[in-house]
Each structure stands twice: as C-alpha cells, then as structure tokens.
Structure 1
Amino acid sequence: MGIESLIVFLIVGAIAGWLAGLIVKGYGFGLLGNIVVGIIGALIAGWLLPQLGFSLGTGIMSAIVNSVIGAVILLVVIKLVKQA
C-alpha cells in the first residue's frame, strides 16, 4: 500500500466516523476515534453488504457511503451493548 492510498484510507475513515457520529447521536470520538470507527465500519460493511446482495460500486463516494453504513451499524451495536 502506497502512502497516497494510506492517506485516502485515513481520510475516508475520518469522514465516515464523523458522519456516523452525527447520525447516531451522542457519539463523538475525536479525530483518531472517528478514523478507527470509520475503518472498522468499512470492514463491517465490506463483509456484510455483499452477503446481503448490495453493491454500491467503486470510487471514493461509494467508499465513504459504505464506511458510514458500517460505522453506523457499529455505533448502534455499541449503544445497545452499553444499555444492557
């Protein structure tokens, strides 16, 4: 992985984590936390969405949307576990 790919990966993770934090109220983790949430969200959505038969295509916008979907799923699961 080149340095450019790593920078894009981190930026997409940060944007996705930030957007997911806005969607799921009460979750703001700062820059580093948003990057981690976004990257984990991308992994979740990258596995789950093809299993369900969804494909968002390629490109940066689809990567952000994909990551946001996964990050929202992650934050909702965290919220449910904390309430239990």
Structure 2
Amino acid sequence: MSLQGLLIWSALGLVAGILAKLIMPGRQGMNPITTVLLGIIGSVIGGKVGHLIGWGVAGEFSIKGIATAVGGALILMYAWRLLFGKKG
C-alpha cells in the first residue's frame, strides 16, 4: 500500500470509526479519541484485507472501500469491547 493509499484509508477511518460506533449496539465505553484511532486502524486493516481479496482498492473512495473500512473498524471495536469493556 502506498503512502497516499495509507493516508486515504486513514482519512476514511475517521468516518469509519464514527459510523462503526453508530452501528454497534450498546455502550462501547470509548472516548472520542479511542473511537477515531480504532476507526483508523480498523480502516487500514479492512483496506488491506479488502485489497488482498480484490474487494476495495486503496486510494479510491467507493462503496466497497467504505464497507471494508467500516467492517474493519467494527471488528476492531468489538474486540476492544471484549478486552477492555466493563464487566458486570
């Protein structure tokens, strides 16, 4: 992935993090900075996986690209909630 592609996936991750938080039910217990960081990281991971399977091209805004970014962010936020969420 080129630097330009990485920057675009990171920018998309800002939006993906917000969308993922709206989509995920319940309280995640994350502050806005954590949400954005998990969105960016999840977006980059989703973009890499999407690129590997031929579904979503880094550096191109498309429905598939947004879907892989939000999907990656959702998976990462779910893992965060499992590891660090409030118990009880």
Distance 1:12 1:74 in 2: 15
Once the two structures are superposed, what CA deviation does each residue of 1:22-66 show, in whole Å capped at 9, x if it has no partner? 122323532x33331121102322344456x46135621333221
Tell me if 1:79 matches 2:81: yes
Q: Is the 8 A contact 2:42 2:75 kept in 1?
A: yes
Aligned residue pairs, count: 79
Q: Where does residue 67 of structure 1 map in the other structure?
A: 69
Task: State the match for 2:42 in structure 1.
Answer: 41
- TM (norm. structure 1) is 0.63
Contact kept, 8 Å, 1:10 with 1:35, in 2: the verdict is: no
Return the TM-score normalized by structure 2.
0.61
More helix, by proportion:
1
SS at structure 2 position matched to 1:56:
coil
Instruction: Give ranges in structure 1 of 5+ residues lacking alignment.
Output: none
* 8 Å contact kept, 2:13–2:69: yes
